[in-house]
Amino acid sequence: MQAQERFYKIDKDFRNPFARDRDRIIHSGSFRKLEYKTQVFLNQEGDFFRTRLTHSIEVSQIARSITSHLGLNESLAEAIALAHDLGHTPFGHIGGDTLDECLKAEGFKNGFEHNFQSFRVVSSLEKRYKGFDGLNLTFATLEGILKHSYPYKKSFLPSWIDEQFNLETHPSIEAMVVDRADEIAYMSHDIDDGINSGLISFDDLKESALICEVLEKVKEEGISEDEDEMFRYRFSSHLINHLVYSLLDYSKDKIDNTSILSSTLNSSESIPVGFSPELETNIKKLKKLLFNKLYQHQDIVVKMFAGKQAIKGLYSALMEEEKMLPKFYYTQLNTRKKHRVVADCIAHMSDRYALSFYNEMYGKL
């Protein structure tokens, strides 16, 4: 009992501010929902495939590794990484695009944008305190979630955000690291998931010089493509390592790690975190290849089309009959505009909840 009493008498937070941000994000309801939100493959496709949750964890791990080697703040990068996808709707990017179309079609010109939605989740939509909304995160974490790598001058933003965050400047270096860690993570795990699903093969990707270079490194270990799971694992490991070390080599001399939290770069200045021009070109070619071979594969397009119809149906139904809104959102209609309450409700849904709700109203999709 004495030990317990001593514990409760601690009146100083033992965490640094960014570690506290990280913990508040991890314990939020929106973070847990990421487990059932689509990355590329719908959640019900199988337990192996990445979700928004596993993706966020992978981005966080890569961002921590990079910031550690560059002498930056690891906890800040981790917090931004874990929160960067909180605003995503069900069904990946197609869900957000469809919700944006629904809002604009009814004359709501601000539409839906997932970066701003992530910011809104942590600054207002999560309810954790009696006296105010949001998770009470630090300025640097909020700025990184909002801006990612670049100035974020959008016409739909309230004036107070422009005043608070100076949207003409880049965010912290840590936020820029998270942006590139995001890129590294989704390229590597989308390839892994795509090959595991049978939708693409390594032969499909050999048009990419970057892929061929990494494949040679795997073969140098004496592992053949017949050893499917091990080959994929070693490929992903080599691809991530190659991109991380390339980023470190190119960026280390461009970063002043004595001013890691300042946003001093304006919109005309290039960011100091990135890859060599040759590698940037190869990455763009690989992304185009993945778009054509994987993201536009018939099986993926069919599933995403179904998700698109679910978003349309949910939006139409909830706008027509507001009493179908869950209680948490229904009570907000007294103080907020209905179209934004409906959009927030849909954006917060997991894939399986959205499909279940849709099927309850319209029949099985």
Question: Which range of residues forms the domain containing residue 331?
Answer: 301-362
Provide the b/e sequence for 303-323 (b: ≥16 CB within 10 Å): bbeebbebbbbbbebbbeeee
One domain, residues 118 and 54: yes
One domain, residues 283 and 324: no
pLDDT at 3: 42
The tens digit of pLDDT for each residue in 139-192 reads 999 999 998 877 677 766 777 787 777 777 788 899 999 999 999 999 999 999
Q: List the helix and strand counts (H, then E) for the chain.
A: 18, 0
Task: Say if 3 falls within a structural domain.
Answer: no
Angle between helices 277-290 and 228-251 (to 10 degrees): 140
Of 300, 326, 350, the residue that ends a domain is: 300
Note the pTM of the prediction, 2 decimals.
0.90
One domain, residues 90 and 198: yes
pLDDT at 226: 72
One domain, residues 285 and 305: no
Tokens of 52: 């928004």
Query: Looking at residues 298-306, what average pLDDT do you find?
Result: 90
Task: Say if 7 falls within a structural domain.
Answer: no
Element at 99 (helix H, strand E): helix 92-105
One domain, residues 63 and 132: yes
Domain at 257, CATH number = 1.10.3210.10
The tens digit of pLDDT for each residue in 192-222 reads 989 988 999 999 999 999 999 999 999 999 9
pLDDT at 47: 47
Residues composing the chain: 365
One domain, residues 216 and 341: no
